[in-house]
Amino acid sequence: MTAFFESLGMTYEWAWFIATVCGILLIALPLMLAVAMIIYADRKIWAAMALRRGPNVVGPFGLLQSFADGLKVFLKETIIPTSANRGLFLIAPIITFTVALIAWAVIPFSETAVLANINVGLLYILAASSLGVYGVVIAGWASNSKYPFYSALRAAAQMVSYEVSIGFVLLAVVMYAGSFNMQTIITGQQGHIFGFINAYGFNPLLFPMAVVFLISSMAETARAPFDLTEAESELVAGYQTEYSSMSFALFWLGEYGNVILMCALNAVLFWGGWLPPVDWAPLYYIPGIVWFFLKIWCFFFIFSWVKATVPRYRYDQLMRLGWKVFLPLSLIFVFLISGWLMLTRYDPPPASVTNDNQDLRWVICDGGGLVEPDPECADQEPAG
């Protein structure tokens, strides 16, 4: 896109700047539309599993329900509690919303469509998702109210706990792909299984990691069954209790933006991203973005399905799952995977590499009769 703006007679810097702004809008605006539709889909799936009809009044099949809700909250009055910390109270939903958007900068939608194809893409995602907790914590604290505060503490503990195992899962994928770059991770999955299935997820060493990641991503986005931060039977509405109008809506948009992001990450890391599921030439005629959206949609359906069927976890169960089940499991698999890769993929380092670091080479000069001394030791006096 930069080249196009340069052809309009701009300098490179300005062309790059305007192209990037256009790119951001091209991602952020459809994302908002996607959030509106995904909220509708969530409610429909949830309703269908509870044998209800769900939203069905506004527009055909109730398709416009989310927009009607959006319009409604937009017209409501913003209420700020008198004892709230005003500045922080207003900035919290903005943080949640912004952080939900920034991570999309590195998600590749097809072979060429990615805003920032940086080589620390996955670390950027991890950084962005670790920022997500601040919106919730600040909201809970600034509300100056009992239940939001409890919710903030729960959110902080929950997200820090699950980020640890998510980090290990990402490490496993990075070791297989050999890069933190999202495009390299996706192209590395091409024909990964038997040369024709494009997914890391079917690899027996990575499948448990994929499951851990799916469950952790539900916990990370505080989705049911891990929605302890807004458990209505215990904490009213959690950190959102004191919010109204647009500030409330921003929390919702951010939350669902994060859910779609996590679905996209599941698709990118384990199930081939924009690659078709099978490495078969005719499938590549369908644009990558279609495959990517299909995969995101599948994962969103799983998220909704879980939300509709699984009862909420107790808080100690949540912590136990994070620290006592997922953390050891992912640690063991990082160990197994690195061992397997050392065994199969990596040759011993070439001689030139070892010679560069002469000072640190371990040379056996006196094997005590058990080991043959290195030939380099010929000119040295044997120890002892």
Cβ proximity to other proteins, 52 vs 361, nearer residue: 361
Binding to other proteins in span 243-302, by CB under 8 A: none
**Does residue 81 contact residue 238 with C-beta atoms inside 8 Å?**
no
133 binding other proteins? (CB under 8 A): yes
The distance in angstroms from the start CA to the end CA of the chain is: 71
CB of 180 to other proteins, least distance (A): 6
CB of 356 to other proteins, least distance (A): 8
Instruction: Pick the binder of other proteins from 89, 147, 149, 313 (CB under 8 A).
Output: 149
Contacting range for other proteins; rule: CB under 8 A; set: 31-39, 159-167, 192-200, 278-286: 159-167
CA dist., res. 313 & res. 16, Å (int): 48
Instruction: Pick the binder of other proteins from 2, 100, 139, 163 (CB under 8 A).
Output: 163
Length of the chain in residues, anyone?
Answer: 384
Q: Phi-psi category of 373—alpha, beta or left, where left has phi over 0 and alpha has psi -120 to 50?
A: beta
Rounded (10°) angle between helices 121-142 and 146-177: 180
CA dist., res. 182 & res. 193, Å (int): 19
Could you say which DSSP state residue 197 is in?
Answer: B
Instruction: Pick the binder of other proteins from 41, 45, 152, 171 (CB under 8 A).
Output: 152
Contacting range for other proteins; rule: CB under 8 A; set: 69-77, 117-125, 185-193, 297-305: 117-125
119 binding other proteins? (CB under 8 A): yes
Contacting range for other proteins; rule: CB under 8 A; set: 69-77, 133-141, 259-267, 270-278: 133-141
CA dist., res. 225 & res. 314, Å (int): 9
Q: Which residues of 82-106 are buried (b: 16+ CB within 10 A; e: fewer)?
A: eebbeeebbbbbebbbbbbbbbbbb
Binding to other proteins in span 14-73, by CB under 8 A: 17
Cβ proximity to other proteins, 94 vs 118, nearer residue: 118
CB of 98 to other proteins, least distance (A): 12
Amino acid sitting at position 160: V
**Does residue 239 contact residue 86 with C-beta atoms inside 8 Å?**
no
Contacting range for other proteins; rule: CB under 8 A; set: 128-136, 188-196, 206-214, 239-247: 128-136
CA dist., res. 206 & res. 173, Å (int): 8
Contacting range for other proteins; rule: CB under 8 A; set: 195-203, 276-284, 286-294, 353-361: 353-361
Instruction: Pick the binder of other proteins from 141, 248, 252, 270 (CB under 8 A).
Output: 141
Amino acid sitting at position 287: P
10 binding other proteins? (CB under 8 A): no
Residue 211 exposure: Cα atoms within 13 Å on the Cβ side: 10
- Nearest in space to 100 (alpha carbons), one of 142, 138, 134, 52: 134
Cβ proximity to other proteins, 30 vs 349, nearer residue: 349
Cβ proximity to other proteins, 157 vs 237, nearer residue: 157
* CA 194 to chain CA centroid, nearest Å: 27
Which position has the token pair 């030439």?
Answer: 281
Q: Which residues bind other proteins (CB under 8 A)?
A: 13, 17, 88, 118-120, 123-124, 126-127, 130-131, 133-134, 137-138, 141, 149, 152-153, 156-157, 159-160, 163, 180, 316, 320, 353, 357, 360
